Structure 1
Amino acid sequence: MSAVQELLVLPLALLALQASLCHGACVEVDSDTEAMVDKGFKLGCISCKRRGEVSATATVDWFFKASNDTDFSPLYSYEEQQAYITDSRFYGRLDWNGSKGTRDLQDGSIYILNVTFSDTGTYKCQFTRSLLYGSHVFPSNTTKIVYLNVVAQLTRGLASILSEVMMYVSIIGLQLWLVVEMIYCYRKIAAAGEEALRESAAEYLAIASESKDNCASEQVAE
């Protein structure tokens, strides 16, 4: 391996090592708010930890207020990797869909099986997190609200349609740009090749002319 190849391989090796040590980024995405009756639905709830290097533990509690209720009632709890359904209306219909295999919860989503019209209402997701700074524990709470509407048939909103159209327009635009770049590069390479051929031909003619002149000079000298 040449010295140039070694200089190219070293940064790539360091980059691969750094990538292997990285963890997936946490992004707080809002939950969908429209569910179809008799189907499953994910109630999304994500609370990202602001200091990724700090150890933490967290519990997640869900509360539910039906459309005809006045107050929230406990619905679901997840603590120490154990789930507890506390609302009899949801017995056998809730599954944990959040962070797994860790006490440092950042995704507290749950999944509702066999959605019914009575599931329409307001859901409250509450993170109770303890940040561990050595011997000091810093508590913090985060609450997110999801307004769920259960319908017989899902409808596509205008924003969804526009986003899909923009996605296809972007894909086509990128493909056209790539074709233009390929044509430009091909022409540039072809022009460079022709120029190189002309220079080689000129150099060859110059050498041939010089050799001819040298031969003529030698014959005159003889």
Structure 2
Amino acid sequence: MSAVWLLLATTLLCATHAPQCHAACVEVDSDTEAVAGQGFKLGCISCKMRGEVPATASVDWFFKAKGESEYEHIYNYEDKTPTITDERFEDRLDWNGSKKTNDLQDGSIYILNVTYNDSGVYQCFFKRTLSYTYYEFNTNATKIIHINVVAKATRGMASILSEVMMYVSIIGLQLWLVVEMVYCYRKIAAAGEEALRESAAEYLAIASESKDNCVGVQVAE
């Protein structure tokens, strides 16, 4: 039960101190299997090592199709402005990353109406400038994503294992709650029985004392 109270306390703390609570940045890998005719998110996240340092960043995407040896520049996002630079993706790429900020950490894009020609290797390139009091520091980060376009989605082993672990966690949590409830019930019941015994003993003691007092009064008379 202590873990539940800890979670509730953390939630209340963030609710009452919203300016101090910031979402953590986690570099999650992109999916690698797209379905022809559907949309697909190309995920690319590059977290800052020092979250408190202000920064600006730009994101460039490159694509190397199957059978090709060179990357082609297909997309740029800088100063909140997206630019599609490859006619193969004209009107098919949307920005799906950080919004309303130049301090980009999520550089994901979304492909509309995926085709088999979209199979290949994608490169996401972050260029970031960290602004300190007396100087600026430039850093770069690159993510490589291999995309395979299929006719029908297939469930990978990782997805199956994640779902199994989720159900195992839920069942384990329910069993833990049942054990806690049984333990608390027994503890309360034992405390109630103890209190009942103490009350009975106290009642008998009072009754015995009253009886002795009555006998004493009769003798005195």
* Corresponding residue number in structure 1 for 2:120: 121
Q: What percent of counterpart residues are identical?
A: 71
- In structure 2, the residue matched to 1:36 is 35
Q: Distance in 2 between matches of 1:130 and 1:185?
A: 56
Aligned residues: CA RMSD = 1.7
In structure 1, runs of 5+ residues without a counterpart are 1-10
TM-score calculated relative to the size of structure 2 = 0.91
Quote the Cα distance in structure 1 between the aligned partners of 2:14 and 2:180. Answer: 28
Determine the C-alpha separation between the residues in 2 that align with 1:216 and 1:53.
Answer: 85
For residue 13 of structure 1, report the CA deviation from its aligned partner: 7.8
Cα displacement (A) at 1:143: 0.5
- Per-residue CA distance 1:133-183 (angstroms, 9 max, x = gap): 013100000000010000011111222222212221221222122112212
Q: In the alignment, residue 41 of structure 2 is paired with which amino acid?
A: K
Larger deviation, residues 209-218 vs 104-113: 209-218
Change in Cα spacing, 1:22 to 1:192, as seen in structure 2 (3 Å) is same
Please give the alpha-carbon distance, in whole angstroms, between the structure 1 residues aligned to 2:161 and 2:11: 40
Matches within 5 A, 1:172-183: 172-183=171-182
Alpha-carbon separation, structure 1, partners of 2:131 and 2:184: 56
> Matched residues in 2 for 1:159 and 1:43: separation?
18
Deviations 1:171-214 (A, max 9, x none): 12221221122122112211210110111010011011111112
Q: Once the 2 structures are TM-superposed, how far is the Cα of residue 15 of structure 1 from its aligned partner?
A: 6.4
Distance of aligned partners of 1:119 and 1:12 in 2 relative to their CA distance in 1, 3 Å threshold: closer
C-alpha distance after superposition, 1:39-97 (max 9, x if no partner): 00000000001101100000001011111211111110000000000011000000000
Counterparts of 1:43-58 in structure 2 under 5 Å? 43-58=42-57
Partner Cα separation in structure 2 for residue 143 and residue 191 of structure 1: 63
Q: Does 1:104 align with 2:103?
A: yes
CA distance in 2, matches of 1:138, 1:91: 34
1:201 paired residue number: 200
With normalisation by structure 1, the TM-score equals 0.90
- The number of residues matched between the two structures is 212
Q: How far apart, CA to CA, are the structure 1 residues paired with 2:142 and 2:12?
A: 42
Residues 91-140 of structure 1, C-alpha deviations (whole Å, 9 max, x = no match):
00000000000010000000000000000011000110000001310000
Alpha carbons 2:14, 2:20 under 8 Å: kept: no
**Partner SS, residue 54 of structure 1:** coil
Residue 190 of structure 1 aligns with which residue? 189
For the residues of structure 1 that align with 2:193 and 2:13, how far apart are their CA atoms? 41
**Residue of structure 2 equivalent to 1:171:** 170
Q: Alpha carbons of 1:181 and 1:38: their partners in 2 closer, same or farther (altered >3 Å)? A: same
1:211 alignment counterpart: 210
Distance 2:55 2:83 in 1: 21
Which letter maps to 2:195? A
